[in-house]
Amino acid sequence: MGLTKIQIVSALGAVALVVLVLELVRRRKLSEEYSFVWAVATLLMAVLGFSVPLLKSVTQSLGILYESSLVFAAGILFATVMLLHQSVKLSRLGREQRALVHEVALLRSALEDTQGGPVPHAAGERA
């Protein structure tokens, strides 16, 4: 039994994604936390690509007409969940940044009061 074109494309896509994720982790562009999520997504992509009967049974049980529609819907769902997660993280980081800026301003003001003059803003800047 030979591999179908879709299985070959799935295998190449899964391998390419694994290589990309590992390279991004190695370069410290992607944290290990997210590498696990991408590894699971890659594994699911490979399993569905190589197990055509499983893909067909999941498609039929969900009432979807075409297997490619299931794969497309799963990709959209994954992207939506990742975007929502990133939005939550960005919102939290924005709140933390505002709190830190406020704290630095208060500390700068207190330092200026004790020194009796302006304090430099940047690390190498002199007043």
**Residue range 32-56, pLDDT digits in tens:** 888 888 888 888 888 877 777 888 8
Helix extents (H) in 51-66: 52-61
18, 12 Cβ separation under 8 angstroms: no
pLDDT tens-place string over residues 72-118: 888 899 899 999 999 999 999 999 999 999 999 999 999 988 888 88
Q: How far apart are CA 70 and CA 75, in angstroms?
A: 9
